Amino acid sequence: MSDDHVDGNALAGDLREIFAVDLTTATGRCAGCGYRGSVATLRVYRNAPGLVARCPHCEEVVLRLVRGRDRAWLDLRGTVSLEIPLPS
């Protein structure tokens, strides 16, 4: 698989399998530098074990998703908060 990163938007399918709403349009805040932006704007690297999403501003890891056959691990240590739009 390509070494080049893709956009957080590419996480949409895997996150949608876990959450009831589209998480890529949520606004996240980076624990490293305070950057606020849509999850879709993160830089996603796919060559690490699982998917690693880094802050486009400070490059710190803000989200990590590892999938196994029957479970997924979501590591959000690098995220202060997520503001998630809900269908009204």
Binding footprint of Zn ion on the chain (CB under 5 A): 30, 32-33, 35, 55, 57-58
Which of other proteins, Zn ion, ligand FAD, none binds 55 (CB below 5-8 Å, type-dependent)? Zn ion
| Range 39-58, binding other proteins (CB under 8 A) | 40-41, 46
Least Cβ distance, residue 77 to other proteins (angstroms) = 23
CA angle centred on 18, ends 13 and 22, rounded to 5°:
55
Return all residues near 6 (Cβ < 8 A) that are at least 6 apart: 43, 44, 46
Which stretch in 33-41, 57-65, 70-78 sits in contact with other proteins by CB under 8 A? 33-41
Q: Which is nearer to other proteins, 13 or 49 (CB)?
A: 13
| Three-state secondary structure call for residue 67 | strand
Return all residues near 13 (Cβ < 8 A) that are at least 6 apart: none
